[in-house]
């Protein structure tokens, strides 16, 4: 089966570098190269001398050590560094799934978390987060839908597009269910570190369960999407070894200089996360206020973390038509929920960028013209 087009990416390809107000992006404000290398005076000298050859397929040892520092049960040997989290997802699905396998995916999902499985001929169950429960996951659904051939359960928390994070008790129940059946449990954790209340931060899945697989990366919480550095971490050495072999056929290795910059970034991870949290904490107040003032038009739950929320347009207008009219008239880009194969009322709004208040202001002026 062919891979279907990545709808969200195709939508972005049309507008991302044209629309002046990107009000639906999921990354945090990017750092400049200068900001990053100025974090320590030795960095520029290291970059100047760095050899621009191939690096290790699984990532340079120094980088894997920095990444391992994010976890409690993971060593460098349990990590493969990838070209963005996107490659990590692609590699994982390809080594974990065969035709006829079954996979349960938290829904709505970032398309690659389900699409690659479909392409591989796996059967997918859509584990829908319940809007009436403020986007909570339904454990009964999980119990009832596990089959003998279920190989993988997929979560993404903090979640794109709702910003939802499950309750810790439910998280631990999910882990227990996967453990009882020895099922691979993957959590896409690229927004981890961006919880509004640090108490909501979940344990890394790779630390919680020996068949847990954490997907991480620098694109979102660390504001370094252009480095294209992601990773996969698991105590399950078979999965890690197989992914390493598979990577020889995708990218062979990552950009060495990006890996060097990633090493610098992770040495200052607390600073970078504080920087991103500073931006989203400011922006979320403005966003909450906006949705309170326009509660007649929009339904909205404040996200618990991450950089995006998934409000509903209550006027009955088709969401894609609404978003296209908005971007054409004002240059403000929102992402219609149908790009998640969800419905034609919800849309994704992002608050990770510094110009969010300005973009929201332009959006507000548009809203006032239609009510
Ligand atoms: C949940 C999720 N996983 C993975 C990715 C891909 O991240 P990267 O840019 O590191 O490839 C994204 C990007 O939007 C995402 O939202």
CA 105 to centroid of ligand 1, rounded, Å: 16
My answer on whether 179 and 322 are in the same domain is no
User: What's the CATH code of the domain at 206?
Assistant: 3.40.640.10
DSSP bridge pairs for 143: none
My answer on whether 193 and 280 are in the same domain is no
Within a domain: residue 2? no
Residue range(s) defining the domain that contains residue 207: 51-268
CA 55 to centroid of ligand 1, rounded, Å: 23
My answer on whether 313 and 297 are in the same domain is yes
- Give the pLDDT mean for 352-371: 96
Q: Which two tokens stand for residue 317?
A: 């207008």
Q: What span, in angstroms and rounded, lies between the C-alpha atoms of 208 and 176?
A: 10
Within a domain: residue 41? no
Q: What span, in angstroms and rounded, lies between the C-alpha atoms of 350 and 28?
A: 9
Does residue 214's CB lie within 6 angstroms of at least one atom of ligand 1? no
- For the CA of 156, the closest atom of ligand 1 is 1
In 160-264, DSSP assigns E strands to 184-188, 212-217, 229-234
My answer on whether 107 and 24 are in the same domain is no
Does residue 230's CB lie within 6 angstroms of at least one atom of ligand 1? yes
pLDDT at residue 96, rounded to an integer: 98
Within a domain: residue 75? yes
Within a domain: residue 371? no
My answer on whether 201 and 154 are in the same domain is yes
State which of 268, 293, 323 marks the end of a domain: 268
CB 219 within 8 A of CB 84: yes
State which of 238, 268, 298 marks the end of a domain: 268
Q: How confident is the model at residue 1 (pLDDT cuts 50, 70, 90)?
A: low
Q: What is the dihedral of CA 189, 194, 197, 199, to 10 degrees?
A: 30
My answer on whether 321 and 279 are in the same domain is yes
Within a domain: residue 40? no
Within a domain: residue 307? yes
My answer on whether 277 and 264 are in the same domain is no
Each residue of 294-315: pLDDT tens digit? 999 999 999 999 999 999 999 9
Q: What span, in angstroms and rounded, lies between the C-alpha atoms of 356 and 239?
A: 40
My answer on whether 252 and 304 are in the same domain is no
Average confidence score pLDDT of the chain = 96
pLDDT at residue 133, rounded to an integer: 82
User: Percent of the chain, pLDDT > 70?
Assistant: 100
My answer on whether 209 and 333 are in the same domain is no
Q: Whose CA is nearest to atom 2 of ligand 1?
A: 110
Within a domain: residue 107? yes
User: Ligand 1 pocket: which of 219, 224, 227, 350 to mutate (most atoms <8 Å of CB)?
Assistant: 219
End-to-end CA distance of the chain: 46
My answer on whether 17 and 74 are in the same domain is no
Each residue of 107-116: pLDDT tens digit? 999 999 999 9
pLDDT at residue 131, rounded to an integer: 86
My answer on whether 120 and 180 are in the same domain is yes
Each residue of 161-195: pLDDT tens digit? 999 999 999 999 999 999 999 999 999 999 999 99
CA 340 to centroid of ligand 1, rounded, Å: 14
My answer on whether 218 and 289 are in the same domain is no
Closest CA relative to residue 200, chosen from 129, 130, 305: 305
Each residue of 56-91: pLDDT tens digit? 999 999 999 999 999 999 999 999 999 999 999 999
Each residue of 217-264: pLDDT tens digit? 999 999 999 999 999 999 999 999 999 999 999 999 999 999 999 999
Q: What span, in angstroms and rounded, lies between the C-alpha atoms of 309 and 355?
A: 17
The kind and range of the H/E element at 95 are: helix 84-96
Q: What span, in angstroms and rounded, lies between the C-alpha atoms of 214 and 10?
A: 27
User: What's the CATH code of the domain at 360?
Assistant: 3.90.1150.10
Q: What span, in angstroms and rounded, lies between the C-alpha atoms of 277 and 296?
A: 29
State which of 242, 268, 294 marks the end of a domain: 268
Within a domain: residue 38? no
Looking at the 3D structure of the chain, how many domains does it have? 2
CB 171 within 8 A of CB 257: no
- Give the pLDDT mean for 120-141: 93
């Amino acid at each position: 089966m062919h891979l279907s087009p990545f709808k969200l990416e195709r939508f972005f390809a049309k507008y991302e570098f044209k629309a002046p107000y990107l009000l639906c992006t999921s990354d945090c404000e990017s750092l400049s190269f200068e900001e990053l290398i100025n974090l320590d005076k030795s960095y520029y000298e290291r970059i100047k001398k760095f050899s621009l050859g191939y690096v290790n397929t699984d990532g340079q040892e120094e980088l894997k050590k920095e990444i391992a520092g994010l976890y409690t049960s993971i060593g460098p040997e349990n990590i493969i560094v990838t070209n963005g989290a996107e490659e990590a997802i692609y590699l994982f699905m390809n080594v974990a799934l065969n035709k006829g396998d079954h996979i349960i995916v938290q829904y709505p999902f970032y398309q690659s978390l389900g699409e690659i499985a479909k392409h591989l001929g796996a059967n997918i169950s859509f584990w829908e987060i319940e809007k009436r429960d403020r986007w909570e996951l339904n454990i009964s659904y999980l119990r009832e839908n596990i089959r003998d051939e279920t190989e993988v359960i997929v979560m993404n928390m903090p979640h794109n597009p709702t910003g939802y994070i499950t309750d810790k008790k439910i998280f631990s129940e999910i882990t227990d269910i996967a453990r009882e059946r020895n099922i691979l449990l993957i959590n896409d954790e690229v927004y981890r570190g961006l919880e509004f209340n640090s108490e909501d931060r979940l344990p890394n899945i790779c630390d919680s369960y020996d068949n847990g697989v954490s997907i991480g990366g620098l694109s979102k919480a660390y504001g370094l999407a252009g480095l294209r550095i992601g990773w996969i971490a698991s105590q399950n050495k078979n999965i890690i070894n197989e992914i390493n072999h598979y990577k020889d056929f995708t990218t062979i290795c990552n950009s060495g200089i990006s890996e060097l910059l990633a090493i610098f970034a992770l040495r200052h991870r607390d600073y970078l996360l504080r920087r991103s949290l500073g931006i989203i904490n400011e922006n979320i107040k403005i966003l909450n206020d906006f949705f309170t003032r326009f509660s007649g038009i929009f339904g909205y739950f404040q996200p618990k973390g991450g950089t995006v929320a998934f409000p509903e347009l209550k006027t009955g207008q088709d969401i894609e038509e609404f978003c296209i009219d908005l971007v054409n008239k004002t240059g403000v880009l929102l992402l219609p929920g149908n790009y998640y194969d969800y419905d034609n009322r919800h849309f994704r709004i992002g608050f990770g960028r510094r110009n969010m208040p300005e973009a929201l202001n332009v959006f507000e002026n548009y809203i006032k013209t239609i009510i």
